[in-house]
A and B are shown apart, each in its own frame.
Chain A
Amino acid sequence: MSVLQKLNDYRYVVPKSFRPGMKIEGLIYADEELIKQIEKDQTLDQVANVATLPGLVGRSLAMPDAHQGYGFPIGGVAAADMEKGIISAGGVGFDINCGVRVLSSDYHIDQVQPNIDQLLNQMFRDIPCGTGKSGLVDLSFEQLDEVLENGAHWAVKNGYGSYEDLHHIEETGKIPNADPGMVSARAKKRGRNQLGTLGSGNHFAEVQYVSEIFDDNAAKVFGLWQNQIVVMIHSGSRGLGHQVCTDYLEIMQEAMPQYGISIVDRQLACVPIKSQEGQSYLKAMAAAANFAFANRQMMSHWTRQAFARVIGNGNLKLVYDVCHNIAKEEVHIVDGSRKKVLVHRKGATRAYPKHRPEIPQDYFEIGQPVLIPGSMGTCSYVLVGTEKAMEETFGSSCHGAGRAMSRTAAKKSTTAEQLIQQLKEKGIHVRGASRSGLTEEKPDAYKDVSLVVEVVHQAGIARKVAKMIPIGVIKG
């Protein structure tokens, strides 16, 4: 078996000789430190396994925050030819449109810090979070279908935020080909009571301040300034999305033989994009993605209310909202010509440069904000998309820090009380629905987000704009 080939300081190639059946090469963005971490688990094998799928173009990519996932690595990107390629439910993942948004405030850190405890208490009261927690909205199945069709547009129409917000959401918060009819009754039942809930695991809402500006012009256009208070919300499509993926993994596995597809890992189950099953999945996935957009929109509304009540005004502007787990039909240059491809982003962020029609008008001359949450208690970043990302990664970049320690190991190494105290000493106040949930998400259970972002920046697949440090965290 041939080994990984170092292409330059930030790129490692997984050659086709790495394992039999690879139809394309793999490419991993990492420096010497991160590649060592990536080599520790099954990420390389998974990058290679993805490369065996039919109809992929370019390379099977892994971002610097990549770690072992299911089928696809987390941090994986793969583009399929629209005519001959496949769609893989596992290539999007269970938490469809898990994503993140950043809201900017009018406030300087000094105006918020004295009241951070009260603000967190209010947010913790108003945003349902944690395992088994139901949402505040009682939806009929007909109303749920409207959410699935219209995403954040439904939320705004029902009083959660403003129409202005929609311009600053990927796909304007509504993927158009969503069809609630392709979402099973079971998925709807699982998600119906979870709209407007944060969830648990790595999902959070954080009050942060801008600690460093790297690109004055881009920061200005995004409305970010030194010491400004911002809010970051990280959540997804909850049980509804999880069940959509579960359902379609089974449907795809059953359908594969009729299309003559064989795979090396059952979690990679896939069908041709043009097949009836592939089209149904894409419509169901879009519906689940819309649920997630509405979910984050509603939580933003409650955050604004909490700010209005505790701090003074709830004038939080949505900087942007990006998907981390999604498959989208996009046009990219492949082998020198424009081609329609289906880009799977499994734990990766779209990172479009300036002058792309898909990005908001007010960001047209700068590029799309790329939002990178760190782990609890560490920093987060806003970056901007680049031309290089269009050339190399189908307009994609990293999505976060990437886990480095198992949950059990994290829980064993510290208690919730110790962790809360350590964070408090760093000026970070925490509210958590579950004590074990908190320790599982301790900062050093993750890779160093700054290292991940630095690799992305140096490799040129996104550019640093601003760094944020949390002063308050709400965990599910």
Chain B
Amino acid sequence: MDERFRILEHPADVGIEAYGETLQELFENSAVGLISIIAGSSKIESGHRLHVSIESTDIENLLVRWLSEILYLSDAEQFIFARADFEKISQTLLKGFVFGERYDPAKHQLQMSVKAVTYHQLKVRRQGTWSATVFLDV
């Protein structure tokens, strides 16, 4: 699939529509979309690795928790996400590694502070391939 994500407009905030052939791809592309909002077109290396493990009640909840984790890592740990390698992913569980690099003000141009990932108009769909819509409070 060529297009990984698209940025959506909202009167006060900003959204992501992400796509993927697989659930893994969908989740990875959603996170790349989130980081593009935070760090613009800065190039992100994938030299650092962290383990993540997230449980949820359903697929939409899993997406919010996953993106909230990526946001937390960027805001609190200064870890900027580049890609993911999932050991396991289901509707309610995600386990694996995220790769990225430490925030470097000399190299990365941060564009926008994202406050949170919301449940507003949240949707995860599967029609052949996967797509998801999620809005961020910025």
Contact = CB atoms under 8 A, between A and B. Distances in A.
A and B are partners in one complex rather than unrelated chains: yes
Interface of A: 41, 67-71, 74, 93-95, 130-132, 186, 189-190, 199-201, 239, 242-243, 245-246, 249-250, 253-254, 265-267, 269, 403-409, 434, 436-437, 476
A68 B12 contact: yes
Given A41-B11, A132-B105, A266-B122, A407 B138 contact: yes
Contacts of B9: 406-409
B41 to A, nearest CB: 12
A399 to B, nearest CB: 13
Given A239-B75, A253-B61, A436-B111, A246 B116 contact: yes
B112 interface: yes
A183 to B, nearest CB: 13
Contacts of B61: 253
A253 B57 contact: yes
B112 A436 contact: yes
Contacts of B13: 407
Given A68-B11, A243-B72, A409-B9, 20 more contacts: A67-B12, A94-B116, A95-B115, A131-B110, A132-B113, A189-B76, A190-B75, A199-B113, A201-B112, A239-B75, A242-B116, A246-B117, A249-B119, A266-B119, A267-B118, A403-B12, A404-B11, A407-B9, A408-B7, A437-B112
23 contacts: A67-B11, A69-B12, A93-B137, A94-B115, A95-B137, A130-B110, A131-B112, A132-B110, A190-B75, A200-B112, A201-B113, A242-B75, A243-B76, A249-B119, A265-B119, A269-B119, A403-B11, A406-B10, A406-B12, A407-B9, A408-B7, A434-B110, A436-B112
Considering residues B11, B65, B78, B111, which has the most beta carbons from chain A within 10 angstroms of its beta carbon?
A: B11
Contacts of B119: 70-71, 249, 265-267, 269
B103 interface: yes
Considering residues B12, B117, B120, which has the most beta carbons from chain A within 10 angstroms of its beta carbon?
A: B12
A267 B117 CA distance: 10
B46 interface: no
Given A242-B116, A408-B7, A254 B57 contact: yes
Nearest to B77: A189
Given A200-B112, A242-B116, A245-B116, A132 B135 contact: no
A245 B72 CA distance: 13
Interface in B14-72: 14, 38, 57, 60-61, 65, 68, 72
Contact of B138 (A74, A201, A267, A269): A201
B111 A434 contact: yes
B11 A246 contact: no
A398 to B, nearest CB: 15
A245 B61 CA distance: 15
Contacts, number: 98
A20 to B, nearest CB: 20
A74 B138 CA distance: 13
Given A70-B118, A189-B76, A407 B14 contact: yes
Contacts of A404: 11
Contacts of A436: 111-112
Given A132-B103, A200-B112, A405 B118 contact: no
A19 B116 CA distance: 29
B138 A70 contact: no
B137 A94 contact: yes
Nearest to A249: B119
A407 B103 CA distance: 25
A223 B38 CA distance: 41
Contact of A408 (B14, B78, B105, B118): B14
A65 B61 CA distance: 31
A246 B61 CA distance: 12
